[in-house]
Amino acid sequence: MATRSRRSITLLTDVRLITCIVQRGLGDTIVRAAQEAGAQGATIFYAKGSGVRERLGILGVAVEVEKEVVNIVVSSEQLDTVFNNIYLAGQLDTPGMGFMYVTSLEKAATYIPEVLLEQIEEKNRGDTS
């Protein structure tokens, strides 16, 4: 007789989505910087920009058409650290290098190992004591 496994959804409600749009070839740099700052992972996909043939300001920097879009889900606690790290790694303070923004997520779900869930619950119990 087969036993039926217990299944449940673990909802993440205190998470944010960082989206970073950069020149093609820089996505891996952004992901490494995010992971160094504590992010667990990322998704990279490719896109085409608009208005890319225009030149930016007096610098005359040509912006490439092909882009990489990096999505990273982080906890609210990690947000500032990860955001700042990838901003600097991607050199987004340079004209034409890219753009990033944060979106609040109402809820998210994925597999979370039982040991990690126990650590989170233990931390939350410690915070309320």
Q: Express each pLDDT in 6-30 by its tens digit.
A: 777 888 888 999 999 999 999 999 9
The one-letter amino acid at 114: E
pLDDT in tens, 77-90: 999 999 999 999 99
| Terminal C-alpha separation, the chain | 45
Structural contact between residues 14 and 58, judged by C-beta atoms closer than 8 angstroms: no
Q: What would be the CATH architecture of the domain defined by 12-128?
A: 2-Layer Sandwich (3.30)
How far apart CA 110 and CA 12 sit, in angstroms, is 8
Name the helix (H) or strand (E) containing 20: strand 15-23
Residue 52's pLDDT is 46
49-96: per-residue pLDDT in tens?
Answer: 765 445 555 555 555 678 999 999 999 999 999 999 999 999 999 988
